[in-house]
Amino acid sequence: MSFENYVIPYEINERYKKKVAYFSMEFAIDQPLKIYSGGLGFLAGSHLRSAYELHQNLIGIGILWKEGYYDQARNIDQTLKVVWIEKIYNFLEDTGIKYQIDIHDHPVWVKVLYVNPRTFNSAPLFLLSTDLPENDYVSQTITHRLYDGNTATKIAQFILLGIGGAKLLDIMNYNPDLYHLNEAHSVSAAFYLMKKFGSVDEVKKRLVFTTHTPEEAGNEKHDIYLCEKMSYFCGMPLDEVRQITGMTDDLFNHSLAALRFAHLANGVSQLHGEVSRQMWYKYEGVCEIKAITNAQNKNFWADKQLYRAREEHNDDWFDDRKRHLKKRALDIVADQTGKLMDPNVLTIVWARRFAGYKRAELLTRDLTRFEALLNDKRYPVQVIWAGKPYPLDFPAINDFNHLVNLSKKYSNVAVCTGYEITLSKRLKQAADVWLNNPRVPREASGTSGMTAAMNGAVNLSTNDGWIREFINNGNNGFVVPSADYMNMTVEEQDNYDLNKIYEILENDILPLYYNDFDTWRQVVKNGMRDVEFTFDSNRMVEEYYDILYK
């Protein structure tokens, strides 16, 4: 097919006719396409799937990561091993498009691959790569590893996504009405658009921005002189860059620049919208920040038979299906770890990206209570962990390895590797209890609990992110009662949350599961019902058109 004067190859719903280009550093559309690390990618993947289902006039712009994020393997003692493996795909279409952009005042060739909507039932996705023989080796490595640890390489990746993506749209004569930046990685596009349209006002008309980070310190900042040296500003003199972005010191704040270039932005939960406004409104020139709560694609993630059994009020089928899902998932755990677990035993799963504030090992900090939980003969439990730390986040890797070593002592504790889309879905099907315990209010949204509920798991969570909009304690899940966290030390907050989680497990969840399973089943069903529409990404992408793209 021709990509000149590109048109989306299916009929567009009139309600969603505004033409949008959606820029994201990562997309988790399906297991074989390994160009994602965690929640940002899962969210972007569901966005493209729902945009396709609703026939929206939207395309994705991303990067083809030759070695992915990394492959999570094990050392000889089962601790974490980071492995980089070249990925080969036969389903990507070569667009035949090749062009150059400047990085570090040096022309770099870019080629473009295409994910056809029919391949994964997603909106069209264009992936940029610098892995061409025409480029020198350093330029080729720009698209080797997602979130490369080298600062200059990371800035080059940001230039490629933003400037390279915006230039691609011109080459294809796509001319979007809006450029949607999913996180600030691609805000270099604004400088390309400044050259194209000639004024900040013209750029603002066309730019919208989604922020995912609830802490100012967590937003990317880089040396402004290094950014200039690397051609981040598309040749714009630094004095002019400072004038139009309001950057006065030596650091270029990508998120702040995005909030000043965009005419509208959004946080990714109602709470995160509030937090973002408090965080950013102290700066001049920041656009309005609304809230659109993240969601996940139900058609892709939910177990259809489980929902059908619920709708037909067939409890025998419902229980049998959930047991089958658990058994199939626990076979994977056994294959990985040698731990043969029982599908009749209440299974607690903590699985997501390892990061300090998510507190993967919180449950183990009171070892006496943890061992009592594991050894309770009346109410047996089994616990599974999984997740990928950032390969240079050594405290998070240490947490992972701590859990691996701890798991060796107990027959009913396991730690899995390779946490990507397929294992994510299987572990949600294995879970009776989906444990989520980030420090409030550090989780912007969190989405894993949504897809867990879609597979018959009950959420047990601290009261953060999307949970505040979903949870009805004891009815569709369980939540740690909020405390005056702002006046607590980190240690006090951790101890409070840990104690409350154990109280809920010991006093509510375990007795309910083993002594009143009919009520437990109803809690599961209530969670499935309450997540089904409100936290399906079809609702989310409708809101993007109604709120952010309006």
Q: What is the pLDDT of residues 301-343, one digit of tens each?
A: 999 999 999 999 999 999 999 999 999 999 999 999 999 999 9
Phi, then psi, of 513 in degrees rounded to 5: -65, -45
Q: What is the pLDDT of residue 217?
A: 66
pLDDT band at 477 (very low <50, low <70, confident <90, very high): very high
Beta strands per DSSP E along 401-541: 413-416, 433-436, 458-461, 477-479
Q: What is the pLDDT of residue 218?
A: 73
On whether the CB atoms of residues 238 and 227 are closer than 8 A, the answer is no
SS3 349: strand
Query: At which residue do the structure tokens 């294809």 appear?
Result: 172
Report, at the CATH architecture level, how domain 302-535 is classified. Answer: 3-Layer(aba) Sandwich (3.40)
pLDDT at 511 over 70: yes
Give the span between the Cα atoms of 209 and 497, in whole angstroms.
33
pLDDT, mean of residues 114-130: 98
On whether the CB atoms of residues 27 and 60 are closer than 8 A, the answer is yes
On whether the CB atoms of residues 464 and 443 are closer than 8 A, the answer is yes
Find, among 220, 179, 173, the residue nearest to 4 by Cα: 173
- What pTM was computed for the model? 0.97
The amino acid at 277: R
Q: What is the DSSP letter of 217?
A: G
Instruction: State both tokens at 251.
Output: 């650091």
Query: Before 441, cis peptide (omega within 30)?
Result: yes
- Length of the chain in residues, anyone? 550
Q: What is the pLDDT of residue 152?
A: 97
pLDDT at 405 over 80: yes
Give the span between the Cα atoms of 206 and 64, in whole angstroms.
25
In this structure, the strands spanning 106-115 and 93-103 are antiparallel
Give the span between the Cα atoms of 450 and 456, in whole angstroms.
10
pLDDT, mean of residues 471-483: 97
Give the span between the Cα atoms of 550 and 139, in whole angstroms.
39
Find, among 167, 173, 147, the residue nearest to 40 by Cα: 147
Q: What average pLDDT does the chain have?
A: 97
Q: What is the pLDDT of residue 213?
A: 86
Q: What percent of the chain has pLDDT over 70?
A: 100
pLDDT, mean of residues 9-32: 98
Find, among 30, 5, 182, 24, the residue nearest to 115 by Cα: 30
Find, among 62, 8, 289, 20, the residue nearest to 178 by Cα: 20
* Burial per residue of 487-504, b for 16 or more beta-carbon CB atoms within 10 angstroms, e otherwise: eeeeeebbebbbebbbeb
pLDDT, mean of residues 98-111: 97
Give the span between the Cα atoms of 147 and 142, in whole angstroms.
10
Give the span between the Cα atoms of 81 and 71, in whole angstroms.
8
pLDDT at 105 over 80: yes
Distance of CA 23 to the CA centre of its chain: 14
pLDDT, mean of residues 498-505: 98
SS3 283: coil
Could you give the dihedral angle defined by the CA atoms of residues 245, 250, 251 and 253, in that order, rounded to the nearest 10 degrees?
A: -10
pLDDT, mean of residues 451-462: 98
pLDDT digits (tens, 9 = 90+) for 52-99: 999 999 999 999 999 999 999 999 999 999 999 999 999 999 999 999
Domain ranges of the chain: 302-535
Measured N-to-C along each axis, helices 39-53 and 421-430 cross at an angle, to the nearest 10 degrees, of 90
Residue 283 to residues 215, 217, 245, 531, Cα–Cα distance (Å): 15, 15, 11, 36
pLDDT digits (tens, 9 = 90+) for 164-183: 999 999 999 999 999 999 99
pLDDT at 1 over 80: no
On whether the CB atoms of residues 265 and 288 are closer than 8 A, the answer is yes
pLDDT digits (tens, 9 = 90+) for 209-239: 999 988 776 789 999 999 999 999 999 999 9
